[in-house]
Structure 1
Amino acid sequence: MNAARIAIVLSLSSSPALAEKITLKPLIDARLRYENVEQAGFAQGADAVTMRVRAGIEARTGDFSLLSEAVGTLAIVENYNSGVNGRTAFPIVPDPQTIGLNRLQLQYRGLPGTVVTLGRQRINLDDQRFVGSVGWRQNEQTFDAARVEWTGIKNLKADVTYAWSDRTIWGINGGNRHGPARYAAIGGDNVFANLALKTAIGTLTGFAYLIDQDEPLVLRNSSATYGGRFAGARPLGDGVKLNYVASYAHQTDHARNPNRYAANYYLGELALNVAALRFGGGYEVLGADNGVPLTSFQAPLGTLHKFNGWADKFLVTPPNGLRDAYALAGYGWKKLGRFEAIALTASYHRFDSDRSGQHYGNEIDLQASARSGRATVLAKYADYRADKFATDTRKFWLSLEWAI
């Protein structure tokens, strides 16, 4: 990556655009969080108090911008297994103590309807189901990549990325000595391609995600996924709106994956907004092939905490696949006293296998959040009750975040 850093700096410094005015924008994002985990099978629960700070600067001149951002996470109370600290007597809280370069990217906007981004960058596609930054964790996932976004035709957007490295959440101490696939970075040849068309009733997106990972312990994550997604909203009356999402994808093994498999993905969701009240539900299926591990539908580069329950029991899809039937409800206030954007949400999940007729378990998730100026406070709870998969797990979070 050193050569890439030098190339970025030289590209900017040699550009005629330097004759133009340079504007600087500071970047600061800090989060203090407490996480507690009580999990069956462990004699003691996990208590984690961590502080994450991302700080950097973005310089703009003409059609160019250069962004540099560092990240550091401090484990203030480390009574937990971070995944790389060796404290396996505790349940896992994957927020290791780390410091490093989070982003270093050069962006060019000089071509009509086109944005080109080169370097270490954050990539969130659609709802982050298949490619995302894993922003819930203290150390987010970024990519060393070249990305082109094109909007040269009205209501149409093409978005293509080639990523040669996935910078994981495990930080500077990541490595295979700490367990399965906990690398600091995973090299490979990954291609993410999206083509989205906006219509009067929603956005129709076709996608292709080709994941080719080089490290020995993650070869089985290499896959080719092709599919489509439709998402939109429709007003039904004064203060009433119907939201809908439908998605389908087909996945097969790819590149050097030693497994041979094919699996399908389905999602359907409906939600109704009535003034400040929101309620609805959905059904998501990550299909299975033959019941062998890692031959079910996987999404190793997605923001997985957003899906299938906040207890994170299904970050890797079980060999027999997963069916998630869920209901959700929420209520919000635009302003209440000193606070803005106050929101209460709740959801219930029933988890079953895609093959073999297993009931995995059920989960209840609750969250309350509010913003005051640049600060956001959040309280969150997840309760997974196991039947035929994993173990009973309860998690609680309390956090304070400040950003500019």
Structure 2
Amino acid sequence: MKVALATAAALVAAGGAHAQDLAVQPLVEARLRSEHVDQQGLADTADAVTLRVRAGVSATRGRIAALVEAQGNLAIVDRYDDGLHGVATRPIVADPENVALYRAQLQYRSKPLTVTLGRQRIALDDERFVGAVAFRQNGQTFDAVRVEWTGVAGLKADVSYAWGVRTIWGIDGMGARQRAVSGDNVFANLSYASPVGNVTGFAYLVDQDEGAVQGFRLSSQTFGARLAGSRKLGPVTLGYQLSGARQRDFRHNPNRYTADYRLVEGSLEHGPFRLGAGQEVLGADRGVALTSFQAPVGTLFKFNGWADKFLITPPDGLRDAYATLGFNKAIAGPFKALALQASYHRFDSDRSVRHYGDEIDLLASVKIGRYTFAARYADYDADRFATDTQKAWLQLDWAF
């Protein structure tokens, strides 16, 4: 980390003498969001209005680039439990106040090879297993060295060693919600652009080396493969995804378990309309807590419903059968894009196939110039897991 920061400072300082060789780019973005949560079983609702700002600079000379970026999150309205502070009578909104270094990285880039060292975002494939958790105000980054190689046409190798995960809980993180989780993590991803789609083999070794975080029980080794592609069928585009993986315990994990993962998804697109359906299965071993398939460093908000009822997979696993109807259209003038989406999820256990509940998710967003306005709604109807929950968001994003 010190090397990345020192190099960034050296590049900027050298700009005075060699300004023609140095490209400096400011990084500024902001997000204002209101989140309301009504959860059965809790006496009070949660209302959070938060403002997240990120600011930094990138400097590039030839094949070398350095980047430094800070972030801060302010709770303007704080009638919520942020996971670290607040009363237990209100639902959790996982956006605690925070001021921290978000990214600080040094990068070497040539045509076949990119090497990135320092605090950085890492998002692999659809972010199911390794992601940046972009929806939460504080995001997730990795203290890591990452090597990406594209020396053979159609082939990409992507390997990272991360010794720290900077979590969404920020500088006040503690207990089971640490601000950073150390460990020897390895994320290896080999993909090939085949005629039928992008074929990926992966190995993700997650080492959660903090006893306070579930007693080391989130450490796992996951090996699998994924196919994602599309095919034009006249006026319609057929999209498809297939994925399978097997997960076992790793390093200091006291549990001994094996759990499987399966994903089958298909979609049809015609003009601005998209209809999709699929099933995702996070398998279970023997019905004991944290012996089901887990993804502790993935972007979990994107999967299994926006009500966030399945961030930790239940002991008996999860089957998520879902359908989505979407509309996306580029618009002339200042209105750059309009997006509408409605999704339905049916959740069941993998063991014994018991019905957990159902969820409906709705989204509307429009981009105007540098601004993006979005409204979301999630309604989880519980049967045999968790409790009825409704969430609503209004969000404004701005980027320089």
Seen in structure 2, the aligned counterparts of structure 1 residues 88 and 318 have a Cα distance that, compared at 3 Å, is same
1:363 aligns with 2:363: no
Paired position in structure 2 for 1:393: 389
Paired position in structure 2 for 1:28: 28
1:199 aligns with 2:199: no
SS of aligned partner of 2:316? coil
Paired position in structure 2 for 1:306: 302
Paired position in structure 1 for 2:177: 182
Paired position in structure 2 for 1:327: 323
Seen in structure 2, the aligned counterparts of structure 1 residues 113 and 12 have a Cα distance that, compared at 3 Å, is farther
Tell me, in whole angstroms, the C-alpha distance in 1 between the residues paired with 2:259 and 2:212: 21
Preserved CA contact (<8 Å) 2:4 2:66: no
User: Counterpart amino acid of 1:68?
Assistant: V
Question: 1:3: Cα distance to partner?
Answer: 6.5
Paired position in structure 1 for 2:69: 69
Paired position in structure 2 for 1:244: 240
Paired position in structure 2 for 1:149: 148
SS of aligned partner of 1:51? strand
Counterpart mapping for 1:73-84 below 5 A: 73-84=73-84
Q: Write out per-residue CA displacement over residues 66-121 of structure 1, whole angstroms, 9 at most, x where no aligned residue.
A: 000000000000000001113322100000000000000000014x5000000000
Paired position in structure 2 for 1:228: 225
Q: Write out per-residue CA displacement over residues 235-271 of structure 1, whole angstroms, 9 at most, x where no aligned residue.
A: 1113x10000000000000001000000000000001
Size of the alignment, in residue pairs? 397
1:267 aligns with 2:266: no
Structure 1 spans left out of the alignment, 5+ residues: none
SS of aligned partner of 1:153? coil
After TM superposition, the structure 1 stretch with the greater mean CA deviation from structure 2, 373-382 or 327-336, is 327-336
Preserved CA contact (<8 Å) 2:7 2:66: no
SS of aligned partner of 2:181? strand
1:253 to 237, 245, 249: 249
Tell me, in whole angstroms, the C-alpha distance in 1 between the residues paired with 2:154 and 2:188: 17
Question: 1:280: Cα distance to partner?
Answer: 1.7
Paired position in structure 1 for 2:168: 169
1:379 aligns with 2:394: no
User: Counterpart amino acid of 1:162?
Assistant: Y
Question: 1:333: Cα distance to partner?
Answer: 2.4
Tell me, in whole angstroms, the C-alpha distance in 2 between the residues paired with 1:9 and 1:360: 53
Structure 2 spans left out of the alignment, 5+ residues: none
Paired position in structure 2 for 1:96: 96
Tell me, in whole angstroms, the C-alpha distance in 2 between the residues paired with 1:360 and 1:126: 28
User: Counterpart amino acid of 1:289?
Assistant: D
Seen in structure 2, the aligned counterparts of structure 1 residues 199 and 18 have a Cα distance that, compared at 3 Å, is farther
Preserved CA contact (<8 Å) 2:8 2:68: no
1:214 aligns with 2:213: no
Preserved CA contact (<8 Å) 1:246 1:267: yes
User: Counterpart amino acid of 1:307?
Assistant: F
User: Counterpart amino acid of 1:118?
Assistant: L
Seen in structure 2, the aligned counterparts of structure 1 residues 3 and 338 have a Cα distance that, compared at 3 Å, is closer
Question: 1:334: Cα distance to partner?
Answer: 1.4
Question: 1:21: Cα distance to partner?
Answer: 1.0
User: Counterpart amino acid of 2:78?
Assistant: E
Question: 1:354: Cα distance to partner?
Answer: 0.4
SS of aligned partner of 2:280? strand
Seen in structure 2, the aligned counterparts of structure 1 residues 135 and 99 have a Cα distance that, compared at 3 Å, is same
Question: 1:4: Cα distance to partner?
Answer: 6.2
Tell me, in whole angstroms, the C-alpha distance in 1 between the residues paired with 2:3 and 2:84: 28
Q: Write out per-residue CA displacement over residues 304-344 of structure 1, whole angstroms, 9 at most, x where no aligned residue.
A: 00000000000000000000000110112211664221011
Question: 1:40: Cα distance to partner?
Answer: 0.3
User: Counterpart amino acid of 2:42?
Assistant: F
Counterpart mapping for 1:33-72 below 5 A: 33-72=33-72
Tell me, in whole angstroms, the C-alpha distance in 2 between the residues paired with 1:250 and 1:4: 36
**Superposition TM-score, scaled by structure 2 size:** 0.96
User: Counterpart amino acid of 1:57?
Assistant: V
Q: Write out per-residue CA displacement over residues 5-51 of structure 1, whole angstroms, 9 at most, x where no aligned residue.
A: 4477679989xx97971110011110000000000011110000000
Preserved CA contact (<8 Å) 2:35 2:49: yes
Tell me, in whole angstroms, the C-alpha distance in 2 between the residues paired with 1:189 and 1:55: 29
Preserved CA contact (<8 Å) 1:95 1:170: yes
SS of aligned partner of 2:286? coil
Paired position in structure 1 for 2:278: 282
Question: 1:191: Cα distance to partner?
Answer: 0.2
SS of aligned partner of 1:52? strand
SS of aligned partner of 1:305? helix
Tell me, in whole angstroms, the C-alpha distance in 2 between the residues paired with 1:150 and 1:107: 13
Paired position in structure 1 for 2:312: 316
Paired position in structure 2 for 1:134: 133
1:344 to 325, 336, 340: 340
SS of aligned partner of 2:325? strand
**Superposition TM-score, scaled by structure 1 size:** 0.95
SS of aligned partner of 1:216? coil
Preserved CA contact (<8 Å) 1:18 1:61: no
Paired position in structure 1 for 2:349: 353
